Amino acid sequence: MDLTGEITAGRRRQWGSERRSEPLPIVHARPSTRTITLGRLGIVCTVGFWLFYVFTTIVREFVNNPESGFRFTVEAVGYVTVVTILSFSALMYLVARQGALYRFRSHDRVPRGELDRHFADYDEAITVLVPSYAEETNVVRATLWSAALQEFPHLSVVLLLDDPPFPTDPDKLATLTATRALPGQIEDALREPGERFRAAAANRAARFATDSVVVHADVELLAADYAAAADWLEALADAEPVADHVDEFFVDQVIMGLARELRLSLLALNASLAQGSYPTAEALGTLGLRLARVFTSTVGFFERKLFSSLSHEANKAMNLNSYIGLMGTNWTTEQTSDGVVLRETPDGDVPDLVVPDSTYLLTLDADSLLLRDYCVRLVYLLEQAENARVAVTQTPYSAFRGAPTRIERVAGASTDLQHMLHQGMTYFNATFWVGANAVIRKRALEDIVETEVVAGFTVKTFIQDRTVIEDTESSIDLGTHGWTLVNYPERLSYSATPPDFGSLIVQRRRWANGGLLILPKFFDQLRTRRFNREHVLLTEIALRGNYMASIAWGSFGLLFLLAYPYDSRLLSPFVFLAAMPYFIAMGFDLREAGHRFSDIFRIYGFNLVLLPVNLAGVLKSFQQMLSGEKIPFVRTPKVKDRTAAPALYVVVPYLIVLFSLLTLYRDVVQQNWGNALFAGFNAVMAAFAIRNYIGLRNSIVDMWLGLLGFLYVDKKKPKKPPVDPASLVDPTKPVDWQRILYHGDRRLARDVRSTKDRRRRIGIR
C-alpha cells in the first residue's frame, strides 16, 4: 500500500480464488444444543453403519459361502481392513470436532480489566524466538513487528538467522544484510514513542504515590497519550506497502487492529471526561503502563553458524536449541583454527555475549503473525493455579484470508479445519504442539533436555531433531515427564499457506514424514503413565495414534481402493453411509470457518493429487527406520514466483485419472456398478484438482524440466590432489600451526613421521 492506501501489484488472482479477505472473529461462536446433538448422532451413525457393513456384508458372505476360496478371503480381509482404518480416521475427526464444540460452548473470554490487574506488577520475562532460513525480508519484518508490538512487561524478540553467514552470491548477501538490519530498524522506530510513554508512566506513578485523587488533567494527559499512540500506529500502517493478502492482513489486523483497540480505550477516557466521572488512580496507572509496554521491546538477532562450538545441524530444532542452551549464561568468544567458539565467562571477567534468561519462550515461525494480545492471554492461562503443569499453550494457526490462488484457498480451508480439530484434541488431553507458534514454560524444556559432548563442547537438545516434525516428538517427551499441553480456544495466530503446488509439496511431504517413528515413544509413555497409576483415556490413545499414523494408513488405504479391483460382493451402501457423517460435518465446519460447503469435494480432489506426496513422506519414515539416519529438513519455499514441482508428483495425478478411467470402463463392462461409480468419481475429482491446483500449462513445464534434469549429467569434477604431508614440515610452505596446536591429531603426527621416513628414503636430510 502506498501513501494513498492503494494495493500494489502482487500474485495474479485466479478465477475461483477467495474473495473474502476479512479474518474470522477471534472468539469462536458458541455452538447450539442442536449442533452438539447432531455431532453426537454423527459419531453413533459412523460406528453403527460400520458394524452393519461388517455383519451384513462380510460376516454374512462367509456364513452363506463357507467355501469362498482363499483369494476371496484375502480380498475380504484386506478390504474390511482398509474400510475400517478409513472409518476410524473419520470417527476421530468427529470425536475431535465434538470436543471442540464442548470447548467453544464453555469458553468465556478473560476480560481486559482482569488481564490488566494480573500484569499490573508483573516481573517475569518472555523471549520470542523467530527461527529463519532464506526467508524474504518483508516476510520476516512483518513477523518481527507482530511480536514486538505484543503487550508484555519484559519482552525480547530474537531473530535466529540460519543462513550461511558469509554468502558469496551478491543477491543472497544483500538479502541477509537487509534481514540483519531489521531488528535495529524496529527498535529505532519504537524508541521515540516508547520513551514518551515510559516517562509518562513514571510521572504518573510518582504523581499518585502521594495523592490518589484523580483530577480532570490526569485523565486528559492519558487520553492524549492514547491518541498519540493510535496516531503513530496509523501512520505506520499508511506507510506499509501492501502487495498481497498477507500484507493486507498485517496492516489491517496487526497494526490497525492494535490502533483500533487503543482508540476504543481513548473513547472510554473521553467519555469519562465528558461525564466528569473518572477512573481510579490504579486504573489510570495500569492504562498508562499498557502503552509503555506495547512500545517497549528489545529486538535483536543471533546467528549460530558464526560459532563453531554450536550445532550446525540443518534443521529448525537445533537452531532453537542452540540459543536456548545459551540462555541465562555469560559467554566469552575465543578465536580458534576452526572458527569462533563460546566459553562460559569466568567470574569477574567482562563477557562478550550476554544471553538473558526468561520464564517463558515464544517460538514463532518467520512466516507467522500474532494478533495483539497473544502473549498476555496465553501467559495468563499458564499462570492459573490449575495449569501449573501445562508446559505449552498455543492457538493453532489459521490461514490468511483472501488467497489469490485456488490451491492456496483449498489448502487454507484444510488448515482452518485443523485449527478446530486441535482445539478438540485438548478436550481429550491429546494436544500436540504445533510449532508455528507456542508459548513454552522454559522449566518444562529443562526437564526434557538431553546433553551430549560433541568435539569437546556441550550440546543441549531441548527440542528433538530426530524427525522433521520436531514439535510432535517434543509433545510426547513432555507428556512422559508429567507435563501437559493446551490449545487456547481463540484465533490469535495466522500463518502462510504455500501459494502453488511446488511449494505445497515441500510442506506436505515434510508433514507426512516422522509420525510412525514417534509412535514407539508414545507407547513407552503410556507404559510409564500406567506404571505411575495414571488413568489414560481410550479417546486420548486413539486421537494421538490417529494424529501420528493416519497419513500413513490413510494413504496406503486410498491407494488400495484406487488400484485393486475388489470383488463386487464386498461393496455395500453401508460403507458410503458410514462416511457420510464425516463429509457432512466437514462441510458445515468449512462453512462455519468462512469457506464453502462444496469445498469438501475440492479437498477430496486435493488429497488425491497429494497422494504421491504423502506416500513419499511415509516411505521416507520407513527409510529412516532402517537406516537410522536423520532426514534432512527441507524448508517450504516462500517466493513470489511459482515453485516448480518435481516431475514425479505431477505425472502420478495424471496416472490416477487414467487408471480410474480404465477401471471405470472395465467395471461398466462387467456391470460392477458400485466400483464403476467410485472410479468415475475419482477420475472427475482428480482431473478437476489437476486443472485447478497444478494447472495444465504448469504440468507441461514441470514434466519437461524433470525430463531435462533426468537427461542432464554433470561434468565430473577432477579429484583434488591428495594433501602432501611434506607441507607440514617443508620450510617453503606455511605451517598451519594453529590447527596443529588446537587439534593435535594423531593423523597429523603420523603424516609428519611418514614425511620424515619418505625424506630419509629418497636421501633428503
Residue 757 in this model has a pLDDT that exceeds 60: no
Q: What is the pLDDT of residue 685?
A: 95
Q: pLDDT-derived band of residue 339, with 50, 70 and 90 as boundaries? A: confident
Give residue for cell 490449575: 386
Interatomic CA distance for residues 714 and 719, integer angstroms: 14
The predicted-structure confidence for 256-294, as pLDDT tens digits, reads as follows 999 999 999 999 999 999 999 999 999 999 999 999 999
Q: What is the mean pLDDT of residues 212-232?
A: 95
Sheet with 353-355, side-by-side order of all strands: 339-344, 329-336, 353-355
- The yes-or-no verdict on residue 407 having pLDDT over 70 is yes
Rounded CA separation 5/241 (Å): 9
DSSP 355: E
Residues 6+ apart with CB under 8 A from 112: none
Residue 6 pLDDT > 80: no
182-196, 373-387, 524-538, 586-600: lowest mean pLDDT where?
Answer: 524-538
Q: Tell me, what's the pLDDT at 516?
A: 84
* Residue boundaries of the structural domains of the chain: 642-713, 725-761
With cut-offs at 50, 70 and 90, classify the pLDDT of residue 440.
very high
HSE (CB half, 13 Å, CA atoms) of 555? 20
pLDDT at 750 over 50: yes
Q: What is the DSSP string of 391-403?
A: EEEE---EEPSS-
Using 50, 70 and 90 to split pLDDT, how confident is the model at 457?
Answer: confident
Count Cα neighbours of 538 within 13 Å in the Cβ-side half-sphere. Answer: 0
Alpha helices for 383-514 (secondary structure H): 406-427, 442-448, 470-480, 501-511
Dihedral sign of CA atoms 407, 408, 410, 414 in order: positive
What the block records as the C-alpha cell of 376 is: 498476555
Question: What is residue 149's three-state secondary structure?
Answer: coil
DSSP 490: B
CA dihedral in degrees (456, 626, 608, 589; nearest 10)?
Answer: -60
CB-based burial label for 416 (10 Å; 0-12, 13-18, 19+): buried
Chain center to CA of 16: 27
Task: Check residue 759 and give its pLDDT.
Answer: 47
Tell me which residue of 359, 298, 328 sits closest to 122, measured CA to CA: 359
Rounded to an integer, what distance in angstroms lies between the CA atom of residue 578 and that of residue 588? 17
pTM value is 0.90
Pairs from 533-539 (Cβ < 8 Å, separation ≥ 24): 537/428, 537/429, 539/95, 539/428, 539/430
Q: Is 315 helix (H, G, I), strand (E, B) or coil?
A: coil
pLDDT value of residue 641: 66
Q: Is the pLDDT of residue 751 over 70?
A: no
Place of cell 475380504: 76
Rounded Cα distance, 162 and 418, in Å: 29
Residue-level pLDDT at 464:
85
Tell me, what's the pLDDT at 660? 93
Residue 696 has pLDDT above 70, yes or no: yes
Phi and psi at residue 723, to the nearest 5°: -70, 125
pLDDT tens per residue, range 104-155 = 999 999 999 899 999 988 999 999 999 999 899 999 999 999 999 999 999 9
Mean pLDDT of 171-185: 95
Give residue 570's pLDDT band: very low, low, confident or very high (50, 70, 90): confident
Give the model's pLDDT for residue 110. 94
Question: DSSP letter string over 72-106?
Answer: HHHHHHHHHHHHHHHHHHHHHHHHHHHHHHHHHHH
Q: Nearest to residue 486, comparing CAs of 413, 383, 399?
A: 383
Q: Where are the alpha helices (DSSP H) in 638-736?
A: 647-669, 673-689, 696-711
Distance CA 289, CA 192 (A): 16
Contact 403, 386 (CB under 8 A): no
Q: Identify the residue with better confidence: 507 or 167.
A: 167
Q: What is the pLDDT of residue 315?
A: 87
> Does 690 have pLDDT greater than 90?
yes
- What pLDDT band is residue 682 in, cutting at 50, 70 and 90? very high
At 472, is the pLDDT very low, low, confident or very high (cuts 50, 70, 90)? confident
d(CA 765, CA 757): 10
Q: Is the per-residue pLDDT at 18 higher than 90? A: no
Given strand 360-364, what is the order of strands in its sheet? 298-303, 154-161, 125-132, 360-364, 437-441, 390-394, 484-487
Amino acid at position 267, single letter: L
For residue 59, pLDDT over 70 is answered with yes
CA distance 22 to 249: 8
| Distance of alpha carbon 646 from alpha carbon 633, whole angstroms | 17
Q: Which three cell numbers stand for residue 518?
A: 514417534
